[in-house]
Amino acid sequence: MKSMQNNDKTDWQILGQLKLPVGANADDPIRIWLMEILAPINLPVNFLDKILKSAQDSARRAMQAESLMKFEHIHLIIFVPLGHVSKRRTWGFFRIDKAESPSGDGKPVDHSIELYLYLEGQ
C-alpha cells in the first residue's frame, strides 16, 4: 500500500482503487467493490450506505460531465489513516472530486473520486 503525507503530518494510505470505464453503469461495480474493500474495517451499515451513496452520486455526475470533458476513466480511490484501528471509535469521511484540465491536444482526461475515511477526534 502506498502512503501519502501532507503538510499537517497526517499520514494516509490507499486502501483500494477502482478504475471504471466511462459509459458503463457504475452503481453495482462501486457497491460490490466498496463492500469488499471496506469489510475488514467493520464499519456500521448506515455509515457504509453514506459512503456508497456519495461515491455513486459522484460517479454519476462525472459520467454526465464526460460529454464536456471527454473522460476515458473514472478512478475511485479510498484513503484511510496510516495504521487505522477502529476500537469502537466513530468514523467520518470526506470526498474530493478531481478532473484534469483538458490540454487541448484532444487526449482524454481522467476524473478521480477520492474518499478519505478518518477516525473522529484525530
In a domain, 52, yes or no: yes
Domain that holds residue 63: 14-119
Count of domains forming the chain: 1
In a domain, 53, yes or no: yes
Say if residues 1 and 14 touch (Cβ distance below 8 Å).
yes
Specify the pTM.
0.79
pLDDT in tens, 26-83: 899 999 999 999 998 889 999 999 999 999 999 988 877 655 556 678 899 999 988 7
Maximum CA extent, the chain: 50
In a domain, 74, yes or no: yes
User: Residue 79: which of 119, 26, 25 has the closest Cα?
Assistant: 119
In a domain, 8, yes or no: no
Q: Grid coordinates standing for 13?
A: 494510505
In a domain, 95, yes or no: yes
In a domain, 9, yes or no: no
